[in-house]
Each structure stands twice: as C-alpha cells, then as structure tokens.
Amino acid sequence: MPKLKTLYICQQCGHQSIKWAGRCPGCGEWNALVEEVVEPLGSSGSRPLDAVATTPLAEVTLDDAVRVRTGLGEFDRVLGGGIVPGSVTLVGGEPGIGKSTLLLSVAGALAASGQTVLYVSGEESLRQTKLRAMRLGLSGSPVRLLAHTQLEVIAGAIAQLAPQVVIVDSIQVIEAEALNSAPGSIGQVRACAQALVRLMKAGHSALFLVGHVTKDGYLAGPKVLEHLVDTVLYFEGEPTSGFRLLRSTKNRFGATHELGVFHMTAEGLVEVPNPSELFVSDPASGAMPGCMVGVSLEGSRPLLVEVQALTSPCGIGLPRRRTTGVDFNRLSMLLAVLERRVGLHQLAQQDVFVSSLGGVRLLEPAADLAVAIAIASSLKERPTSRRDLAIGEVGLTGEVRPVVNVSQRVHEAKRVGFQRCFVAARRGGAARMDGIELIPVAHVREAVALALE
Ligand code: TYD
Ligand code: MG
C-alpha cells in the first residue's frame, strides 16, 4: 500500500500543519492537532460532474434490508430485531465490562447458524481467545479468528474470506501503516474506522467495532466514531454486580434507548428476558424506611427499579450528598423542593445518600417522585409499603407532573404484583386499572403523606 500524504489538522480552527505540536499555531488550543490522511481532490477516482446519476426515492428497493437474527434474543432486540447486512455497529463500554465476551458469544451463535464470521482480536492472542471460547462453550465453533492489529492485514483477510459478519476487537488497537500517530489516537481510530466502514458498505457485510470508553465517555475513540456508524450500543453495569445492560443510543435501523439485560456468570453472559423483578428487593423482607419503587422506561421496556435513600445527621461542616444511579443535580433539586415546599427543613443538616438497586441509571424525571418519597421516608423513619410504587416528575413548586407512557409503566408494576401506584393528578386517562389502584397526587407533599401513612 503506498504511503499516503498526511497532515496534522486542528480540530478547533482547521489549521493545517506538517508537524505535530502540542499547541495549535493557529488558535493556540492545546492537544487539538490530529493526524489525518489528505488525498488531493480528484485523485481517488472522482468522476466528472455530468456523470452523476440520482435515484428517485420511490425506486429505491429495500430487498437487502433483511435482518439476521443472532439467536441471542436480548442482543437482537437492542439492535431492533437482528443484524442489518452492511450495517456498522459500535459497541462501547468500560474496559472489563464484558464486550469481548458478548461479541464472542454473538460470533459463536452466528457461526453456528451457518454464517461466516471473522473475529479480529487485536488485544488478545489466539490462545487467549480460545480460552475465553472454552468458558463460553464455543471451543468447537467455526468462527474464523485473526489476531492482528494492522488495518491492511485485516482488510486483506476480509477480502479473502468475504465474511457476512466482521467483529473488530477493539478499534483502539488497530493501526493504519500510512499514519505515523500511535494506535488509539483520534487520527488512527477515525482513519481505521473509516477504511473499515468503506470496505463493509461495498461488500454488504455487517461490522461490529468494539470501543473502550472511560467513565466520562472519553478515550480517543467511541465519541469520534458515533457519526460514522449506523448503530451505537453501550454495554454497562456496576462492575461489582453481575448485571450488564446493553443500550442503543443511536440506531439508524430501529428504536433507540432499547435495553437488553444480561447476567455475567462463570460461563459467560446469560440473557435475562424478564428483568423487572431484578432491581426491586424481595417483598418478603418487609417494610423498611427509605425505599420506594419507580419505573424507568428504556426504549419499549419498562423497568421497575427500587430507589433507596438514607439520611443521617451530619456533624460539623457541609452535609454530604452521594448518589448511585440517580442524577446528582436532580437530587439537589429534589432536596430543595422537600425542604422548601414540603417543610422538611431538617434535611439541611443531614447527609443524604441515594442509590438505585443494582446501580441502574435512573435518568428520567419520571423517577423524581420515588426519590422524593424515599428521602422523606428515611428522614421521618417511617416505612413505605412494599406494595406501593410512584411514577411522576416533580416540579420546582412541588407539583407532581405527568410523564409519558404511564399506562405501560403501570401495567408492568401490576404484572409484578404491586397494588398501589402514585401518579400525577393531572394525568388524564383511566382512573383505575384492573388489579392496581391508581392514587392521583397533585403535590409531592400529598404523595409523601399518603405513602408514609
Ligand atoms: P471482557 O469480555 O474481557 O471485557 P471487555 O472486553 O469489555 O474488556 O470481560 C471481562 C470480565 O468478564 C472479566 O473480569 C472476567 C469476566 N468473565 C466472566 O465472569 N465469565 C466469563 O465467562 C468470561 C468469559 C468473562
Ligand atoms: Mg475485550
């Protein structure tokens, strides 16, 4: 492959430079120069303008959009019903969360159904991959392996094998010979991903790119790739709990925010097709102060999640506030509402800890009411009922506001056996649902009083 011409281009001001520098000579921004391949316009076979043909929308056929099911139901549902041939999917997640395990299981399942699958392992040797496969019960699988990090070699293997599915684990270790920058740098990651995407779109194979992200979603890679790919999946979970959640945050071929739940076991990932009871503590454990169940809606799947709060008098100094799963700023707001609008002035001298069971992220405002009730319950040392749950957003005035898809959330709660649900009074819609009592509340004060009765 001929050496391509590369330049360092500033991501802030577009300044071009032949040499890398820590600081852009154009705008003075630090760490903004990124190496990129520059091909003069017209050199890569650009055609004269009169040869460009356009296609009427009505004549575009979709015969190739047939999805391939992997057989891992949770994985398929997050993708929107299976793999779309020719699509490119980025699977991001923190190191050690289980991305390689997930994708090797997917590769094994696809290969077992007769698909040609190429698994490119850039981080682990063939031996290590085999050891992993043995744990997953895939040691006899026909998956084709390549342990290499060089883009040109990978492209060669893809051309020879013409696989239906290619998995590259991970994009951060792949390097293109043409670039001088280190693997994992923004320039390398982007150039390698672009080259692979181009190969796939031409050949109609599906590509999965593994990308590591840190807690704040950074580390050259996944973020710069999101616009290049069709689908972005994030694999996450509390490292200490065995549960792993797979979410789609972008999907050109299906709904976003779809959620798949897995359990990491000694023999790999096991699907959890019915996860609602997982994140709620055992009803038999009796009523306890500081607990309230809310319902988050992930894509099309309602998930019951218990919120637990603990308040404890703080000594001297500023009171501490800690959250797991619940948004910190949202907690600050709810504490202010409880102090000023519900009259729980003691909260100003309390440390407050709030967490969701299993560390499930409750980012929707629909969880507000459950969080507020849990805090009030802990502060007053009055237990809530195990059969109650709360759905609603809390406004700055303390009003309880309706949220989307209440009936879908309530149905799920009913199915699991809850008997009373606090909902916004302004909600409209059915006042009763068979088997579960809907209690309308207009203000968080009212909800707290009823829940702690
Ligand atoms: P891995 O897939 O290597 O993570 P990633 O590719 O995201 O970095 O998973 C690593 C963790 O998963 C590791 O701590 C071991 C654990 N694990 C199991 O618990 N069971 C298994 O069957 C396998 C293969 C891994
Ligand atoms: Mg890995």
Q: Which two tokens stand for residue 390?
A: 């709360």
The residue contributing the CA closest to ligand 1 atom 1 is 98
User: Are 237 and 253 spatial neighbours (Cβ–Cβ below 8 Å)?
Assistant: no
The residue contributing the CA closest to ligand 1 atom 22 is 268
pLDDT value for 63:
57
Sorted by where each begins, the domain ranges of the chain are 5-38, 68-273, 283-451
User: Are 18 and 8 spatial neighbours (Cβ–Cβ below 8 Å)?
Assistant: yes
The residue contributing the CA closest to ligand 1 atom 23 is 268
User: Are 450 and 441 spatial neighbours (Cβ–Cβ below 8 Å)?
Assistant: yes
Residue with tokens 């709620």: 280
pLDDT value for 327:
92
At the top level of CATH, the class of 283-451 is alpha beta
**Per-residue 3-state assignment (H helix, E strand, C coil) for the chain:** CCCCCEEEEECCCCCEECCCCCECCCCCCECCEEEEECCCCCCCCCCCHHHCCCCCHHHCCCCCCCCECCCCHHHHHHHCCCECCCCEEEEEECCCCCHHHHHHHHHHHHHHCCCCEEEEECCCCHHHHHHHHHHCCCCCCCCEEECCCEHHHHHHHHHHHCCCEEEEECHHHCECCCCCCCCCCHHHHHHHHHHHHHHHHHHCCEEEEEEECCCCCCCCCHHHHCCCCCEEEEEECCCCCCEEEEEEEEECCCCCCCEEEEEEECCEEEECCCHHHHHCCCHHHCCCCCEEEEEEEECCEEEEEEEEEEEEECCCCCCCEEEECECHHHHHHHHHHHHHHCCCHHHHHEEEEEEEHHHCCECCHHHHHHHHHHHHHHHHCCCCCCCEEECCEECCCCEEECCCCHHHHHHHHHHHCCCEEEEEHHHCCCCCECCEEEEEECEHHHHHHHHCC
Q: Which two tokens stand for residue 260?
A: 């798949």
Domain 68-273 has CATH 3.40.30.10: no
Instruction: Tell me the sheet residues that pair with 124.
Output: none
User: Are 232 and 249 spatial neighbours (Cβ–Cβ below 8 Å)?
Assistant: yes
Pocket of ligand 1 (CB under 6 A): 93, 95-101, 132, 135-136, 264, 266-268
User: Are 451 and 377 spatial neighbours (Cβ–Cβ below 8 Å)?
Assistant: yes
The residue contributing the CA closest to ligand 1 atom 21 is 268
81-101: pLDDT as tens digits: 899 988 999 999 888 899 999
In the reported structure, the alpha carbon of residue 309 is separated from the centroid of ligand 2 by a whole-number distance in angstroms of 35
Instruction: For residue 242, give the ligand 1 atom closest to its CA.
Output: 19
Residue stretches of the chain with pLDDT short of 50: 1, 41-42, 64
Distance CA 157, CA 205 (A): 13
Question: Which residue out of 131, 212, 219, 264 has the highest number of ligand 1 atoms within 8 Å of its CB and is therefore the one to mutate?
Answer: 264
In the reported structure, the alpha carbon of residue 199 is separated from the centroid of ligand 2 by a whole-number distance in angstroms of 23
Q: Whole-prediction pTM value?
A: 0.77
Least distant ligand from the CA of 239: 1
pLDDT value for 62:
66
pLDDT value for 41:
45
In the reported structure, the alpha carbon of residue 96 is separated from the centroid of ligand 1 by a whole-number distance in angstroms of 6
205-258: pLDDT as tens digits: 899 999 988 665 555 555 678 888 999 998 888 777 788 889 888 898 887 778
